[in-house]
A = this chain, B = another copy of it.
Amino acid sequence: MGLLMAMGGAVALDGAAMAVFLDACAANGQNVAILPTASALPDAGAELAAVLTERGLRVNLLPVHSREQANDPELVAVLRQAGAIFMTGGNQLRLTACLGGTLLHQAMLQAWRAGAVVAGTSAGAAVLSAIMIAYGRSGSAPRPGLAQFAPGLGFREDLIFDQHFRQRNRLGRLLYALAFNPGLLGVGVDENTVAVLDGQMVRVVGAGAVTIADGQSLKANNVAEITNGLVAISGVMLHVLTSGSVFDVQTRTASIPVVPLSVE
């Protein structure tokens, strides 16, 4: 299984979070596929492609915006060559609605299982899990209807991601997801920050934090009964992890660097 990289959006192309991806591309065969599918912008992914090309990597910016394209054997063949796959930001439902169940989706999962790096920023990070937050609002406390969920692309079944986390004050919707199913581990990624998943280990790199909300210790919540006001939830274990920290999903413990990584 390759690395999974969940970036929190607004990632500086010359920053520490992106450097982790660039290094992984170089180490992983130098062949990179970019999927701009989440975005409605015509030039989505072009700037990253330029940076990657400048670094001497071979880049394919795949024009996949329809299910027909996502089932095009030629495009699928190109993706199969990639040692690293990057999904841009935009709308996560564009990604899942376009890719879900297609040949390209299957090829992505196969490539990842065979060792390819799969990275995404913002919407591209949201879709990495089996269940994702599709829509939602801001706020620190869980409320009925605060978020809507949708099936993601399913690289991980045990986690749920959120992005622009601190910048958009999204703890409430992550807690809301845990109230729905405390078996999930919530991973909230700040902007310009990446959560690098290597099997059971989550490594944090970048200018912000990764907030991990663990529902395993949950004692009580009333999400099934509440129709308005706030949802009560008791016993969420919270970790705010900065660059250089590592979280072990198996043991649910974190190690925090005493001297933080430089993020310049």
Enumerate chain A interface residues (CB-CB to B < 8 A): 139-142, 165-166, 169, 171, 175, 190, 207-209, 211, 213, 217, 219-222, 225-226, 229-243, 245, 247, 253-260, 263
- Across-interface contacts of A263 in B (CB, < 8 A): 229
- Across-interface contacts of A140 in B (CB, < 8 A): 140, 165-166, 169, 171, 211
- Across-interface contacts of A241 in B (CB, < 8 A): 232, 234
Question: Do B238 and A242 touch across chains, with their CB atoms under 8 A apart?
Answer: no
Question: Do A240 and B166 touch across chains, with their CB atoms under 8 A apart?
Answer: no
Question: 8 A-B Cβ contacts within 8 A?
Answer: A141-B240, A171-B171, A208-B230, A222-B242, A225-B258, A229-B263, A232-B257, A235-B238
How often does this chain occur in the complex, in copies? 2
Question: Do A237 and B237 touch across chains, with their CB atoms under 8 A apart?
Answer: yes
Question: Do A229 and B207 touch across chains, with their CB atoms under 8 A apart?
Answer: yes
Beyond A142-B240, A166-B141, A171-B171, whether A254 also contacts B225 by CB under 8 A is no
Give the distance to chain B from A135, nearest Cβ to Cβ, in Å.
20
Return the contact of A260 from the options B141, B220, B229 (Cβ within 8 A).
B229
Question: Do B240 and A232 touch across chains, with their CB atoms under 8 A apart?
Answer: yes
Question: In the docked arrangement, what's the CA distance between A242 and B234, Å?
Answer: 10
- Across-interface contacts of A245 in B (CB, < 8 A): 232, 234
- Across-interface contacts of A169 in B (CB, < 8 A): 140, 169
Question: In the docked arrangement, what's the CA distance between A108 and B156, Å?
Answer: 56
A226-B242, A234-B256 are known; give 8 further A-B pairs, CB within 8 A: A142-B240, A175-B238, A207-B229, A217-B237, A225-B260, A229-B243, A229-B263, A234-B247
Question: Do B141 and A220 touch across chains, with their CB atoms under 8 A apart?
Answer: no
Question: Do B258 and A230 touch across chains, with their CB atoms under 8 A apart?
Answer: no
Question: Do A219 and B141 touch across chains, with their CB atoms under 8 A apart?
Answer: no
Question: Do B236 and A238 touch across chains, with their CB atoms under 8 A apart?
Answer: yes
Beyond A169-B169, A230-B209, A260-B222, whether A237 also contacts B239 by CB under 8 A is no
- Across-interface contacts of A247 in B (CB, < 8 A): 234
Question: In the docked arrangement, what's the CA distance between A175 and B213, Å?
Answer: 14
